Amino acid sequence: MNAGEVPAGNVATVKKDFISSPEFKPEIIENKSKAAAGLCKWVINIVNFYDVILEVGPLRKQLE
């Protein structure tokens, strides 16, 4: 599945339920589990990547 194929509702749910939580910080989670902190970083980076793809996608189409 490509980034453009991910339902926007899924990303919005992750942002609302997880990323907006003050406890969803790798530094905090790392005190409990290094593996969980790695997953936390991964989720944050995937959502950031999704946001960038949504911004860059239309620009790429304009260049074509």
pLDDT at 30: 96
pLDDT attached to residue 57? 84
Residue 3 scores a pLDDT above 80: no
pLDDT at 46: 92
Q: What is the pLDDT of residues 17-45, one digit of tens each?
A: 999 999 999 999 999 999 999 999 999 99
- pTM of this structure: 0.81
CB contact set of 36 (below 8 Å; sequence gap of 6+): 29, 30
Is 2's pLDDT higher than 90? Answer: no
